[in-house]
Amino acid sequence: MRLSDLRDKKIRSLDGKPLGRVHEVHCDKGKVTALTCGPGSLIERWTAKRNGHRIPWECVVKVGRKAVLVTLDPPQRKPSASRSRQGTRRPSGPRSKR
Amino acid sequence: MNPLELTLGIMTAVGGFVDISELVFAAKAGSQFGYALIWVFVLSTVGIVVFSEMSGRVAIAARQPVFNLMRHRLGLKLGLVVLAASIVSNLITCAAELGGVALILNYLTGAPYALMAILMTVVLIVSIWVLPFEWIERVYGLLGLFMIVFAVALVAIHPPWDKIAGGFVPHVPHGLSSKELLTFGYFVVAIVSAVMFPYEVYFYSSGGIEEGWKPKDMLTNRITAILGMGLGSLLAIAILSNSAQLFGPANVDPEIPGSAALQAAIPFGKWGLIIALLGMFFAVAGAAVETCLANAYSIAQFFGWSWGRHKQPWEAPRFTLTWIALFAAALAIVLTGVDVMMLVEFAILFSILVLPFTYLPLLLLAGDKQYMGQYANGRLAKGLGWFYFALITLAAVAALPLFIMTSGGNG
Amino acid sequence: MTPDSPIKLVSELLDLPLFDMEDKYCGIVDDVELEGGAGKPLKLKALLVGPGAYKGRLPGWAMRLVKLVAGDRVVRVPMDKVRSIKSAVHLNCPGRDLGLDKSEKAAGKWVPRWGAL
């Protein structure tokens, strides 16, 4: 897989709800940890300011040719010791329905 | 800061300021509107100083040329669009400069225009091949100082200095018909475009890296940009003022570039004419070199090729083959027989349309502390940068309609 | 920043210039190779350098144009060859060891090696 296979891809939840496009891929210790999706406007890119939903990689179910499918029910995972990067929001990925 | 290096840098910038577009539009502006467009030269010069200083600062602080950073910020797709647009704009400009030089040689020697165009292309290619970067800049820039004859000619013809001073104040002349007003508007846009050509910024920033500028050269960068371009613009204003004094009252429309040389011939006779033509020759030839190299820099930097004339030609072979191919393409355009004036008009038009896409990424990069650290834009640079971005965007929007409505400034 | 640091691949790695250990300019990060997939860890594997790496980023007609001007070579730079990432990517080996100079060498056959001061 390449970064270009993820970037600008549409993101949909499993029930078909569109969540935007992938405009950032977060990495830590050499592994992809999350995707950021949202409108990803040109102005945001030009000003290097990014807002949007942060989706943990564990929530990605499938990387298709035209879209990335994600679950809104994240699997159980150990709490991460890594801090959020300066300038990004704290992880606010899809919450569980409880 | 080495005073000799600084002086040479300033003088090179002065001699290299005027190119075929500024020559033509300064002369035409003076003959049609008197001294009324002087303030536009001043306004545009401040703009090019702001962005040149910024591009030099980016080159020093980020140690990368503007086009490299532009691709990183714009992304590949939009970066490719900007690259394609600037290649077209710079190529047409290069062809206009080459055609202008061939025309000047034709005036000087009487030899056929097409033959002079081919000869000059070979001379320019050989000069870039043989000379190191510093000497390429200095030879054309310093010999372009013959253009000072226009400033001397202005003093010699005893112009109305009060009217020239009045031209520095922004205003629109009274009593213009709506057609003349539109033509005035077109000249404003054309002068902004001619002074703030995109190739200037690409060449200046890449030149800074070619010369190995470091943080200690920040002040040199600033002084060279301000003094060099500021004094250079006085030459363009001298050409405009000469034209206002000599051509305007006689209803002479300086349609061809050679007409400007008459400004020095009238007070100084044959030698004035020869010196003026020599000054024009070196200034325009220097501009042809700059536009070609600026294009080659953009292409090489965008695709990640080795680049620069601080290397030997065989150490950056793809870059070398690119600038040779670009000269050949510019020559091919000239040899189609298209009028040099038409090339100048198209160069102006394409450039103003590309300008916002050139300057916005540069403005954002120069303000980004991640790249620039302590050298990021301060309040003054930010304020002036955004003001000029708004101005050139307005000019870009107005350019095509004004070009069509005024038939390229011919009323 | 090292390859193990937290990094945003699009805004902090993609399209950055590459310099080798001799501080020689070697190209631009044109794409990033990842290993893994959905449901398993996705690791940073290599940087891809060369116009051939634009394939996933440009439409077909644009790729044909780019191929005309710049060719379609791709060079793979494994992540273990990356020393640091900041405003540029710095490698811990010479670029020629990874084949990053092959295209320049091929073009160099067309350029005479004399006449310049």
Q: What CATH number should be reported for the domain holding residue B224? A: 1.20.1740.10
Is C90 inside any structural domain? Answer: yes
Among C9, C38, C39, whose Cβ lies nearest the Cβ of A3?
C9
Contact A30 C36 (CB under 8 A): no
The angle that helices B229-246 and B38-62 make with each other, rounded to 10 degrees, is: 160
- Which pLDDT score is estimated for B372? 85
Please tell me the distance in Å from A61's CA to the nearest CA on chain B: 27
Mean pLDDT, chain C, whole residue set: 91
Contact C117 B135 (CB under 8 A): yes
Burial of C64: CB neighbours in 10 Å, binned 0-12, 13-18, 19+: exposed
Please tell me the distance in Å from A42's CA to the nearest CA on chain B: 8
Mutate to test the interface with A, among B73, B76, B360, B362 (most CBs of A within 10 A): B73
Contact A45 B360 (CB under 8 A): no
Distances (CA, A) of C110 to A65, B126, B303, B315, B327: 41, 16, 19, 12, 17
- CA-based nearest residue to B299, from B67, B88, B69: B67
| For range C39-53, the mean pLDDT | 93
* CA–CA separation, A10 and B346 (whole Å): 41
Contact at 8 Å (CB) between B330 and B94? yes
B 338-377 residues inside an 8 A Cβ radius of A: 360-361, 364, 368, 370
Is C117 inside any structural domain? Answer: no
- Which pLDDT score is estimated for A51? 61
- CA-based nearest residue to B243, from B153, B182, B179, B166: B153
Instruction: Say whether pLDDT at C50 is over 90.
Output: yes
For residue B48, what are its two tokens?
């090019």
- Which pLDDT score is estimated for B200? 86
Give 3-state DSSP helix, strand, coil % of chain B, rounded to 5: 80, 0, 20
Chains that touch A (3 or more CB pairs under 8 A): B, C
Q: How far apart are the first and last CA of chain A?
A: 34
- CA-based nearest residue to C10, from A52, B386, B344: A52
Give φ, ψ of C75 to 5 degrees: -115, 135
For residue B71, what are its two tokens?
């691709």
Using the 8-state DSSP alphabet, how is residue A65 labeled? S
Contact B368 A48 (CB under 8 A): yes
Contact B320 C111 (CB under 8 A): yes
- Which pLDDT score is estimated for B33? 94
Please tell me the distance in Å from B199's CA to the nearest CA on chain A: 22
Contact A32 C43 (CB under 8 A): yes
> Which residues in chain A are contacts of C4 at CB distance < 8 A?
28-30
By three-state DSSP, how is residue B113 classified?
Answer: helix
> Which residues in chain B are contacts of C69 at CB distance < 8 A?
299, 303
Contact at 8 Å (CB) between A30 and C43? yes
| Closest chain C residue by Cα to residue B373 | C87
Instruction: Tell me whether B72 touches chain A (CB under 8 Å).
Output: no
A90: left (phi over 0), alpha (psi -120 to 50) or beta: beta
Instruction: Say whether pLDDT at C70 is over 50.
Output: yes
**Full set of structural domains in chain A with CATH:** 3-70 (2.30.30.240)
Is B411 inside any structural domain? Answer: no
Please tell me the distance in Å from C98's CA to the nearest CA on chain A: 20
By three-state DSSP, how is residue A62 classified?
Answer: strand
Is B271 inside any structural domain? Answer: yes
| Closest chain C residue by Cα to residue B309 | C116
Q: How far apart are the first and last CA of chain B?
A: 50
> CB-based contacts of A50: which residues, under 8 Å, 6+ apart?
A23, A24, A36, A38, A40, A44, A87, A88, C8, C11
> Which residues in chain C are contacts of A48 at CB distance < 8 A?
11
Contact at 8 Å (CB) between A70 and A13? yes
- Which pLDDT score is estimated for B16? 78
Range of the domain at B80: 3-247+254-405
pLDDT block averages, 10 residues each, chain B of length 411: 74 81 93 95 95 90 80 84 89 95 92 96 95 87 91 95 95 92 95 91 87 87 89 94 91 79 92 93 93 93 90 93 97 95 91 89 87 90 96 95 88 66
Contact C9 A1 (CB under 8 A): no
Rounded to whole angstroms, the maximal C-alpha distance in chain B is 60
> Which residues in chain A are contacts of C34 at CB distance < 8 A?
1-3, 6, 32
| For range C59-68, the mean pLDDT | 87
Give φ, ψ of A69 to 5 degrees: -100, 135
For residue A38, what are its two tokens?
């949202």
- Which pLDDT score is estimated for B373? 87
Is B68 inside any structural domain? Answer: yes
> Which residues in chain C are contacts of A85 at CB distance < 8 A?
6, 8
> CB-based contacts of C96: which residues, under 8 Å, 6+ apart?
none
> Which residues in chain C are contacts of B76 at CB distance < 8 A?
15, 30, 54, 57-58
- Which pLDDT score is estimated for C65? 85
* CA–CA separation, C5 and B186 (whole Å): 53
Q: What is the CATH number of the domain that holds C51?
A: 2.30.30.240
- Which pLDDT score is estimated for A94? 45
Is B362 inside any structural domain? Answer: yes
| Amino acid sitting at position B224 | T
Is C115 inside any structural domain? Answer: no
- Which pLDDT score is estimated for B276? 94
Is B410 inside any structural domain? Answer: no
Dihedral sign (CA B212, B216, B217, B221): positive
| Amino acid sitting at position B39 | W
By three-state DSSP, how is residue B251 classified?
Answer: coil
What are the tens digits of pLDDT across the range A46-76?
555 556 788 999 999 999 888 899 987 766 5
The angle that helices B76-109 and B340-366 make with each other, rounded to 10 degrees, is: 140
Q: How many domains does chain C have?
A: 1
C35: left (phi over 0), alpha (psi -120 to 50) or beta: beta
Instruction: Tell me whether C25 touches chain B (CB under 8 Å).
Output: yes
> Which residues in chain B are contacts of C17 at CB distance < 8 A?
64, 68, 304
- Which pLDDT score is estimated for A48? 55
Please tell me the distance in Å from C30's CA to the nearest CA on chain B: 9
Which pTM was predicted?
Answer: 0.89
Mutate to test the interface with C, among A6, A27, A62 (most CBs of C within 10 A): A27
In what helix (H) or strand (E) does residue A19 lie, and over which residues does it extend? strand A18-28
- Which pLDDT score is estimated for A45? 55
A to C CB pairs, distance under 8 Å: 85
Q: Residue A39: pLDDT band by 50, 70, 90 thresholds? A: low
Range of the domain at C40: 9-107
- Which pLDDT score is estimated for A86? 44
Instruction: Tell me which of B10 and A83 has the higher pLDDT.
Output: B10
Is B293 inside any structural domain? Answer: yes
- Which pLDDT score is estimated for B127? 94
- Which pLDDT score is estimated for B257? 74
How big is chain C by its Cα radius of gyration, in Å? 16
* CA–CA separation, B239 and B30 (whole Å): 8
In what helix (H) or strand (E) does residue C90 lie, and over which residues does it extend? strand C89-91
- Which pLDDT score is estimated for B237? 96
Is C2 inside any structural domain? Answer: no
Q: Residue A98: pLDDT band by 50, 70, 90 thresholds? A: very low
> Which residues in chain A are contacts of B368 at CB distance < 8 A?
48
In what helix (H) or strand (E) does residue A53 lie, and over which residues does it extend? strand A53-56
Q: How many domains does chain B have?
A: 1
| Closest chain C residue by Cα to residue B79 | C15
Please tell me the distance in Å from B91's CA to the nearest CA on chain A: 27
